[in-house]
Amino acid sequence: MKTPNPIKTLIFSSILATLMVGSGHAAIVPLNGDFETNTFVAGGLGPYSSPAGGSSISNWSWSESAAPYPTGVRLISQDIDFENAVGGKAASHGTYAVSLEGATSSISQNITLAAGQYQLIFDASWWLPAYLAVNPIYASLGGVKFSFSGSTAAFSPTQGYNTYTSDVFTVTTAGTYELKIAADNPAGGYSGGTAVDGIRLKALNNGPILSNGNFEDSVYGDTGTQDYSPPFGRSFVADWSWSSTTQADGLVGAVRLLETDLNGGVIPDGSTYAVSLEGATSWIKQSVTLNPGQYQLRFDAATPLLQYLEPNPIYASFDGVNLSFNGSTNAFSPTLNYVRYTSDVFTVTTAGTYELKIAANNPKGGYSGSSAVANLYIGTELSYGSWAANKAGGQAANLDWDNDGVSNGVEYFMNAAPGFTANPGFVGNTVTWTNGGKIPSTGYGTQFAVQTSSDLVTWEDVAEGDLNSNSNESLSYSVDPTNAPAKQFFRLKVTP
């Protein structure tokens, strides 16, 4: 299994299976929150912390397991531990979880945070009801307890994993703090069995709107069919909910995490993962917080498994209303290779939290096709039309709204700041344009191209292979003066 990147969800339970701190709105702090990076010593009391066992979890400190075990902590594997136990068979994030079994058992880690507002999110379960009572648990940061629904008291998770989200809390001073998940059971001793999984800390006030939009913070269960969503598989994508993959309903909700070096083809911008919607009504969704304004949704989509599966028609909705693409709200089928899709502008009139959903809508029903999505992003002025309406008087890309000598299209490509924009000059024999993120590098030849001319009348595109570089950060072209004609001119042509 790949070592997953940290994510943002916290779950209270005696089994702590996934802890990650960070935010789709800020940098992610690597916590090994899903506990997938560990040393699992099976047999006897092996899965316990020392001295009773020899298991360990990267990045985490945990209380000792010593008789009579008031601080007993255990690393559990779904493959070994009580396969049929409620809450223990399918940890919500990967293969491993941590079970808090002593009355004051705990795990902790020091994390560094910037000043800002955060929430702690996690899944938790009372996982051995036939053998152990539930262990009440709590979470704290820097010795101060998180509140959940207005209360800082320890609480008892129910049977089966549920997601718990703390109230918003504020870090006023940047620094390093101890994050702790612990049991607090007045019964004392070896008192219960509570499992925790998918622990993450999410920043609320910086950066992109969508969290983990490229799915890079994932647990990829790469054995057999384990790359599907639970309960059929064990893969997990941070910050996203996805429909269940179950045979009982004919796999209508089947969703799979694709890894580009194993399946799914090459994803634009070098991302490793995509999510494949394969059931007729399969979906992924996330709650997003937006202020009033005009927005657009952008994502890459393809039918990468066309040799095996037909395309699954897909659509996107915001707050239950289908977004339109090129004026249509109908579901559409992506092509074989990844293409970037940008929605029409939609308006948020009231600040709040809304559900963003990407879903299949296939009348065939059942396990019906495969449409992969990647690199989801919500922002403003994502399309040229939206940008030009606000920045270029609605003019065409080949015109120059502000009369500074740089066409509107080039300013859009560079995501230039309002006001005068300077054409880049040569540095040595190389000219470089900034790629401001409006058009991906894969758009070379169709949406933008470097052109050369000897007379400023006839222009020819430079082949992509002849460029010096073409990335999602910059575009550059180098000239060999010994092979150049007496007069040679260069320009960037943008046709978004």
For residue 261, what pLDDT band results from cuts at 50, 70 and 90? low
Predicted local confidence at residue 265, as pLDDT: 63
Q: Flag whether pLDDT at 226 surpasses 90.
A: no
Residue type, 235: S
% of residues, the chain, pLDDT over 70: 85
The reply to whether CATH 3.30.70.580 applies to domain 218-379 is: no
Least confident of 30-34, 90-94, 196-200, 273-277: 90-94
Who wins on pLDDT, 241 or 418? 241
Predicted local confidence at residue 351, as pLDDT: 86
Q: Do domains 19-203 and 218-379 have the same CATH topology?
A: yes
Q: What share of the chain is helix, strand, coil (3-state, %, to 5)?
A: 5, 40, 55
Nearest to 19 by CA among 170, 28, 299: 28
Parse the chain into domains and list their residue ranges. Answer: 19-203, 218-379, 386-494
For residue 81, what pLDDT band results from cuts at 50, 70 and 90? low
Nearest to 442 by CA among 266, 305, 222, 277: 266
pTM: 0.64
Predicted local confidence at residue 438, as pLDDT: 83
CA-CA distance, 70 to 188, in Å (whole number)? Answer: 6
Task: Assign a CATH topology to domain 19-203.
Answer: Jelly Rolls (2.60.120)
For residue 483, what pLDDT band results from cuts at 50, 70 and 90? low
Q: Is the CB of residue 17 less than 8 Å from the CB of residue 206?
A: no
The whole-chain average pLDDT of the chain stands at 82
Predicted local confidence at residue 17, as pLDDT: 26
Report CA dihedral (401, 402, 407, 412) to the nearest 10 degrees: -90
